[in-house]
């Protein structure tokens, strides 16, 4: 592997205890998202309490990984040197079919082709030995 | 019940003094120094001294945070308030300060409240040893995907508004053009070169669908205003700007949990303010609308009832929000073209309009009697509204 690709220079998450199962699920390539057992709602980002009903009875549920783009933007400005080669790139809010909404990148098509309402499916990107990111591509 | 109690405060408190510092790039000026200059100017304006101030509201500067900021400012300004605290509503903070000041006086905690905010975002790199930025709590789920900064967060709002209502980039451009026109008439504004829709369309994408000219300036500077009772304000040096209505709303915690990105806190916040004031959008002679980005103005004008939801894009076109239009908006040039002091100057500008004869004649709203001010912060998650008038019974 070329030296410049051996080091992953983009920001990595700090893994807080309440989000550990989420990041572990991505590493295992089986995304899990919290579902409130009291109101049945799936939600994101992770929390120890449901943001709707404040119940603490939560389960980490596997999700299928299908969803729709809720909103889509294209980053042109380079905020950090690590992104210099990557612009322009898409960032989307994706609604999982189960209900939770994630911040993510839609990859596999030019950013200009990503539209609100577009169907997408999950792809895992192992960016370091410890961290896997959840990205999406247009559904086939 | 809440509205009833608020209504009892209608017209009982007023802004009695305002102050602004020089604006733009002020290398070597600390945020504390800018706070003091703004406060001194507001005291002189009102005909008061630091010994007359017994309440203090500050907003911890994002680029120069310090512990117990209000206490630091109080000490530096030689005041010993019986009510002092930092407020943290992002860009909604200055408008919220007026509300908290009225509440504190109403509760008997103090009589005269200094509300102040300054920042050195433009020149912060010239001041060593300063903290970078405060966490927002969701960055671990955003930054790994390259989601950085307020522009991207607001680009999501624009993405949805365009998708749901067909709003166009050219319509957003009309906001930038209008405020630049007002800034050109404002000696204190940073930007004095007129722009056209074509200039807007030719400006580069920052985070599509937002272009460079959709984005606020990065500024150094400060502002302050003093709230006291209506009776006391009438005995002071300036014509009072009475607080007729106020409201606030925190509609969601983040975009992931929001039910909508095209209606924000301004809807409920402005309704509270209209109810308290007994007024409606048609009674407003002007509006000072928080304009971190052009899309924020479009959404807020809809949420405030100046046009139906979804029609804000058309509502800002054809000079409707310019001087002489249906509703002059951001008569000072706003964050987009005057300076970005997180909305503090929207409050001071509204007071100037209501005093009359203070600003350049070409940007004075003729016969201005009532105006509304919006504050918007935390990427759309906080909002505050204020209705001011130069008459107690507008």
Minimum distance, in Å, between the CA of residue A42 and any CA atom of chain B: 10
The mean pLDDT of chain B is: 94
Q: What is the pLDDT of residue B61?
A: 87
Which of B132, B143, B144, B253 should one mutate to test binding to chain A, selecting the residue with the greatest count of A CBs within 10 A? B144
Q: What is the pLDDT along chain A (140 residues), one digit of tens a residue?
A: 344 445 788 999 999 899 999 999 999 999 999 999 999 999 999 999 999 999 999 999 999 999 999 999 999 999 888 888 899 999 999 999 999 999 999 999 999 999 999 999 999 999 999 999 999 999 98
For the stretch B117-152, pLDDT in tens is 999 888 875 554 444 556 778 899 999 999 999 999
Strand partners, B58: B86
**Mean pLDDT along residues B195-210:** 98
Render B153-200 in DSSP notation, one character per residue: HHHHHHHHHHHHH---HHHHHHHHHHHHHHHHT-TT-S--S---HHHH
Report whether pLDDT(B105) > 50: yes
Q: Could you tell me what percent of chain B has a pLDDT over 90?
A: 85
Q: What is the pLDDT of residue B125?
A: 55
Q: Which residue of A has its CA nearest to B208?
A: A74
Q: What is the pLDDT of residue B64?
A: 79
Q: Taking CB atoms and an 8 Å cut-off, how many pairs form between chains A and B?
A: 103
ipTM field = 0.94
Instruction: Give, in order, the Cα–Cα distances in Å from A33 to each of A89, B80, B258, B342, B361.
Output: 25, 51, 17, 36, 59
- Say whether B230 sits in a helix, a strand or coil: helix
Going A18 to A23 to A28 to A33, the CA torsion angle's sign is positive
Report whether pLDDT(B44) > 80: yes
Which of B136, B138, B141 should one mutate to test binding to chain A, selecting the residue with the greatest count of A CBs within 10 A? B141
Q: What is the pLDDT of residue B28?
A: 83
Q: What is the pTM of this model?
A: 0.95
The continuous run of DSSP H or E covering B206 comes out as strand B205-208
Residue A116 has phi, psi (to 5 degrees) of -60, 140
Between chains, do B143 and A13 touch, taking CB under 8 Å as contact?
A: yes
Strand partners, B389: B242, B370
Task: Indicate the residue of A70, A73, A102 with minimum beta-carbon distance to B207.
Answer: A73
Q: In A, what residues contact B, Cβ < 8 A?
A: 10-16, 19, 43-45, 51, 70-77, 79-80, 83, 86, 88-89, 91, 93, 100-105, 111, 115-117, 127, 131, 133, 135
**Mean pLDDT along residues B98-104:** 97
Between chains, do A103 and B204 touch, taking CB under 8 Å as contact?
A: no
Between chains, do B141 and A45 touch, taking CB under 8 Å as contact?
A: yes
For the stretch A27-61, pLDDT in tens is 999 999 999 999 999 999 999 999 999 999 999 99
Q: What is the pLDDT of residue A80?
A: 86
Task: Indicate the residue of A13, A83, A100 with minimum beta-carbon distance to B140.
Answer: A13
Which of B146, B148, B255 should one mutate to test binding to chain A, selecting the residue with the greatest count of A CBs within 10 A? B146
Task: Indicate the residue of A13, A73, A117 with minimum beta-carbon distance to B144.
Answer: A13
Minimum distance, in Å, between the CA of residue B106 and any CA atom of chain A: 34
Task: Tell me if B383 sits within 8 A of B264, measured CB to CB.
Answer: yes
Task: From A46, A10, A120, select the one nearest B144 (Cα to Cα).
Answer: A10
For the stretch B20-42, pLDDT in tens is 999 999 988 889 999 999 999 99
* DSSP H helical ranges for chain B: 2-7, 31-46, 69-77, 93-106, 149-165, 169-184, 197-202, 230-234, 266-277, 294-303, 312-315, 334-337, 344-355
Q: Which residue of B has its CA nearest to A14?
A: B140
Q: Which residue of B has its CA nearest to A10?
A: B144
Between chains, do B208 and A77 touch, taking CB under 8 Å as contact?
A: no
């Amino acid at each position: 592997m070329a030296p410049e690709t051996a080091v992953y220079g983009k920001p990595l998450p700090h893994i807080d205890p309440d989000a550990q199962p989420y990041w572990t699920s991505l590493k295992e390539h089986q995304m899990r998202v919290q579902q409130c057992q009291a109101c049945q709602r799936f939600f994101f980002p992770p929390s120890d309490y449901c943001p709707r009903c404040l119940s603490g009875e939560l389960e980490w549920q596997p999700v299928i990984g299908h969803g729709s783009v809720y909103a889509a933007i294209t980053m042109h400005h380079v905020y950090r040197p690590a992104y210099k080669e990557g612009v322009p790139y898409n960032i989307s809010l994706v609604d999982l079919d189960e209900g939770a909404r994630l911040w993510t990148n839609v990859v596999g098509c030019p950013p200009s082709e990503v539209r609100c309402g577009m169907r997408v499916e999950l792809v895992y990107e192992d960016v370091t030995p410890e961290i896997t990111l959840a990205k999406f591509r247009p559904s086939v | 019940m809440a509205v009833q109690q608020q209504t009892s405060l209608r017209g009982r408190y007023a802004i009695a003094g305002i102050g602004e510092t020089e604006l733009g790039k002020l290398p070597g000026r600390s945020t504390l120094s800018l706070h003091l200059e703004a406060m001194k100017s507001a005291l002189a304006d009102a005909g008061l001294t630091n010994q007359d101030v017994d309440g203090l509201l500050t907003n911890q500067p994002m680029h120069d945070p310090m512990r117990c900021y209000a206490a630091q400012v109080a000490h530096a300004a030689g005041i010993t308030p019986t009510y002092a605290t930092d407020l943290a509503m992002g860009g909604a903070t200055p408008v919220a300060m007026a509300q908290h000041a009225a509440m504190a006086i109403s509760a008997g905690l103090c009589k005269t409240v200094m509300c102040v905010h300054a920042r050195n975002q433009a020149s912060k790199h010239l001041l060593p040893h300063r903290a970078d930025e405060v966490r927002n709590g969701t960055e671990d789920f955003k930054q790994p995907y390259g989601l950085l900064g307020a522009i991207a967060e607001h680009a999501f709002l624009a993405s949805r508004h365009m998708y749901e209502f067909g709003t166009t980039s050219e319509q957003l451009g009309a906001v930038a053009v209008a405020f630049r026109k007002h800034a050109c008439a404002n000696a204190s504004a940073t930007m004095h070169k007129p722009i056209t829709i074509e200039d807007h369309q030719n400006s580069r994408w920052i985070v599509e669908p937002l272009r460079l000219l959709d984005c606020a300036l990065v500024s150094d500077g400060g502002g302050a205003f003093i709230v006291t009772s209506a009776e006391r304000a009438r005995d002071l040096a300036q014509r009072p700007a009475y607080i007729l209505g106020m409201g606030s709303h925190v509609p969601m915690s983040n975009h992931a949990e929001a039910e909508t990105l095209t209606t924000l806190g301004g809807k409920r916040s402005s309704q509270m303010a209209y109810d308290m004031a007994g007024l409606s959008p048609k009674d407003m002679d002007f509006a000072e609308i928080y304009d971190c980005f052009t899309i924020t103005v479009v959404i807020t004008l809809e949420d405030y009832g100046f046009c139906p939801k979804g029609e804000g894009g058309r509502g800002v076109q054809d000079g409707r929000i310019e001087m002489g239009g249906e509703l002059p908006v951001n008569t000072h040039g706003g964050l987009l073209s005057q300076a970005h002091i997180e909305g503090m100057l929207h409050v001071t500008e509204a007071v100037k309009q209501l005093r009359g004869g203070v600003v350049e004649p070409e940007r004075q709203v003729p016969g201005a009697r009532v105006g509304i001010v919006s504050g918007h912060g935390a990427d759309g998650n906080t909002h505050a509204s204020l209705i001011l008038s130069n008459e107690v019974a507008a």
